[in-house]
């Protein structure tokens, strides 16, 4: 498991956890260095999501500054120019891809092939669980769409509680 830290207040919980790797999805220009240092002193590998940091620009100078002065094990970003720069600086780079539909999947594949990040993180990870969570949390009908490619996807979405399934694949319209 990888511990994703959305709130700095959760750092101590991550330190106590058995997770050896953490994704730092929060932080700012004032606390980032201390948080990274604390996690690394606890033998955690730390990957910083540079897009979500406050007080830093989203450019290659900030990337270099963070890496050289704060020493994370790597970075996470949605920005291809930062992945490219990270690669030239020898920084382990994770490309975060939001897979929302077939077009974003195809674009993500094309981007990953051309940029060659060290790893890819895709979101959402598991659609049926997200459908169930939405059904539990809100009282609004849920329609599942994006990445629907076969009958099994349709059945699983409906079992999870979706009231309907949206698909661009014409063959699926006749299921």
Q: Are residues 28 and 59 in the same domain?
A: yes
- The predicted pLDDT at position 122 comes to 64
pLDDT at 174: 60
Query: What is the pLDDT, as a whole number, of residue 159?
Result: 92
Residues 99 and 75 in one domain: yes
Residue 117 and residue 138 in one domain: no
pLDDT at 114: 87
Query: Based on the domain organization, do 113 and 143 belong to the same domain?
Result: no
Global confidence as pTM? 0.75
> What DSSP string describes the chain?
-EEEESSGGGHHHHHHSS-SEEEE---BTTTHHHHHHHHHHTT-EEEEEGGG-BSS-SSHHHHHHHHHHH--SEEEES-HHHHHHHHHHT-EEEEEEE--SHHHHHHHHHHHHHH--SEEEEESS-HHHHHHHHHHH-SS--EEESS--SHHHHHHHHHTT-SEEE-S-GGGGG-
Examine the domain organization and report whether 91 and 62 are in the same domain.
Answer: yes
Flag residues of the chain having pLDDT under 50: 125
Residue 168 has a pLDDT of 61
């Amino acid at each position: 498991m990888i511990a994703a830290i959305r709130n700095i207040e959760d750092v101590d919980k991550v330190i106590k956890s058995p997770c050896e790797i953490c994704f730092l999805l929060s932080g700012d220009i004032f606390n980032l260095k201390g948080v990274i240092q604390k996690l690394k002193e606890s033998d955690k590998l730390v990957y910083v999501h540079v897009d979500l940091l406050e007080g830093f620009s989203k450019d290659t100078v900030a990337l270099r500054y963070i890496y050289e002065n704060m020493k994370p094990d790597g970075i996470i970003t949605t920005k291809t120019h930062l992945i490219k720069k990270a690669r030239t600086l020898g920084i382990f780079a994770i490309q975060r891809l939001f897979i929302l539909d077939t077009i974003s999947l195809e674009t993500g594949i094309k981007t990953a092939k051309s940029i060659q990040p060290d790893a890819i993180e895709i979101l959402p990870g598991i659609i049926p669980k997200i459908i169930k969570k939405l059904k539990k949390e809100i009282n609004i009908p849920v329609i599942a769409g994006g990445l629907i490619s076969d009958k099994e996807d349709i059945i699983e979405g409906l079992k999870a509680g979706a009231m309907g399934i949206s698909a661009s694949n014409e063959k699926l319209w006749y299921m």
